[in-house]
Amino acid sequence: MRWARYVRLIRSVTQLAYELEEERRKGRGIALVPTMGSLHAGHSSLLAQARQSGRAVVLTIFVNPTQFDDRSDFDRYPRTQDRDLELAEAEGAELVLVPSTEQMYPPPDVVRVTASGPLTELWEGASRPGHFDGVLTVVGRLFGMAGSCRAFFGEKDYQQLRLVSALAAEMFPLVEVVGCPVVREADGVACSSRNALLSSEDRRAAAVIHRALLEGCDRASRHGASAASVEAAVRSRIEKEPRAEIDYVGVVRIDDLVPAGELVGEMRILVACRFGPVRLIDNVALSGAAPEAGAGAGAGEGHAVVGRRTAILSSQDDD
């Protein structure tokens, strides 16, 4: 195939270790981009930023069974390896690890990561019990294989990004986790492998999530806004779409993702919704600040503005 001339496809963890050592002997650092495949424009952005770091770009593709709480969700997760390898080549990936489950979880498979605390118990943790244990277990194994590296993760899975950053800080000090902006399709829908599973009607309806997030940001910018009123604005907008079923909406502090009591400091609006059998998540940044003296706002009131760390595609990508 065309991509085979440029991308080194690796199936073995042992071979990966050899290839990484060869890169380091050349004086090159490692840029790691872990994925579950079914690559899209969001992954392209991760690979582009990894390439810009000047390091050897290592893409991993592994649909991790331990992070799915629903076996049917694992079974229907899109698998598009040939197309993924073509995209990897186009974005300058040099090594692509596509391991088997046996390579990632060799017997007796007794070492697993168990996460605890608000970062794992709220939001996705509450909706998908055990999900983050699986995520952190496989990411920890990838970090162990890669050694010293920069690892690139998207901000769409914001809770995951926070947990992966904490994992690196506590257990893998030679790994620098880099968060990358959300990439959106032309109608604002965050790029996701799951978008391809939506029916045409649900795909159109999914645009309500981003519109609701923007309405929440607009509400937050008004005098006298509260975290509760922002959340209510987001919920109200989504509830107008009959095809959407809300899982959660939250205005949270970015350090621990605990619900924000007031609009002060750095925050995120988190959303999870179902459209038929497909569950989508999204988020947007809010920056709050106490009002200046004499501004006329009441005690404890603040203001917030939408974060600008997002990219919009010029044309719609159905993946």
Handedness of CA 20, 138, 258, 312 (dihedral sign): positive
Query: Per-residue pLDDT tens for 203-212?
Result: 999 999 999 9
75-79, 146-150, 201-205, 227-231: least confidently modelled range: 75-79
Token code pair at residue 280: 């989508």
User: What is the average pLDDT across 130-157?
Assistant: 96
pLDDT at position 27 is 97
pLDDT at position 304 is 37
On whether both 220 and 308 belong to a single domain, the answer is yes
pLDDT tops 70 at residue 261:
yes
Whether residue 187 is contained in a domain is answered as no
Give the residues across from 180 on adjacent strands: 154
Whether residue 50 is contained in a domain is answered as yes
Q: Which of 43, 131, 210, 303 is catalytic?
A: 43
Asked which of 157, 180, 203 is the last residue of a domain, the reply is 180
What is the extent of the structural domain holding 71? 2-180
Whether residue 90 is contained in a domain is answered as yes
Of 164, 185, 184, 192, nearest to 176 (Cα)? 164
Of 213, 210, 205, 211, nearest to 275 (Cα)? 205
Whether residue 165 is contained in a domain is answered as yes
On whether both 168 and 237 belong to a single domain, the answer is no
User: What is the average pLDDT across 98-127?
Assistant: 90
Asked which of 154, 180, 206 is the last residue of a domain, the reply is 180
Q: What whole-number percentage of the chain has pLDDT above 70?
A: 88
On whether both 63 and 138 belong to a single domain, the answer is yes
- Please give, one letter per residue, the 3-state secondary structure of the chain: CHHHHCCEEECCHHHHHHHHHHHHHCCCCEEEEEECCCCCHHHHHHHHHHHHCCCEEEEEECCCHHHCCCHHHHHHCCCCHHHHHHHHHHCCCCEEECCCHHHHCCCCCCCCCCCCCHHHHCCHHHHCCCHHHHHHHHHHHHHHHHCCEEEEEECCCHHHHHHHHHHHHHHCCCEEEEEECEEECCCCCECCHHHHHCCHHHHHHCCHHHHHHHHHHHHHCCCCCCHHHHHHHHHHHHHCCCCEEEEEEEEEECCCCCECCCCCEEEEEEEEEEECCEEEEEEEEEEEECCCCCCCCCCCCCEEEECCCEEECCCCCCC
**CA 166/CA 245 separation, integer angstroms:** 31
On whether both 9 and 83 belong to a single domain, the answer is yes
pLDDT at position 5 is 52
Whether residue 96 is contained in a domain is answered as yes
CATH of the domain at 206: 3.30.1300.10
pLDDT at position 116 is 82
On whether both 240 and 266 belong to a single domain, the answer is yes
Whether residue 289 is contained in a domain is answered as yes
pLDDT tops 50 at residue 165:
yes
On whether both 171 and 207 belong to a single domain, the answer is no
Q: How many domains does the chain have?
A: 2
CATH of the domain at 53: 3.40.50.620
Buried b (16+ CB within 10 A) or exposed e, 36-56: bbbbbbbbbbbbebbbebebb
On whether both 113 and 171 belong to a single domain, the answer is yes
Radius of gyration of the chain (CA): 20
5 class by beta-carbon count within 10 Å (0-12 exposed, 13-18 middle, 19+ buried): exposed
On whether both 255 and 283 belong to a single domain, the answer is yes
On whether both 173 and 200 belong to a single domain, the answer is no
On whether both 138 and 267 belong to a single domain, the answer is no
Asked which of 153, 180, 207 is the last residue of a domain, the reply is 180
Whether residue 198 is contained in a domain is answered as yes
pLDDT tops 70 at residue 296:
no
pLDDT at position 137 is 96
Active site residue 210: no
On whether both 17 and 82 belong to a single domain, the answer is yes
71-85, 138-152, 194-208: least confidently modelled range: 71-85
pLDDT tops 70 at residue 231:
yes
pTM for this entry: 0.88
Whether residue 318 is contained in a domain is answered as no
**CA 159/CA 124 separation, integer angstroms:** 8
More confident residue, 274 or 298: 274
On whether both 9 and 133 belong to a single domain, the answer is yes
For 187, 283, 319, the CA distances from 79, given in Å and listed in that order, are: 25, 25, 12
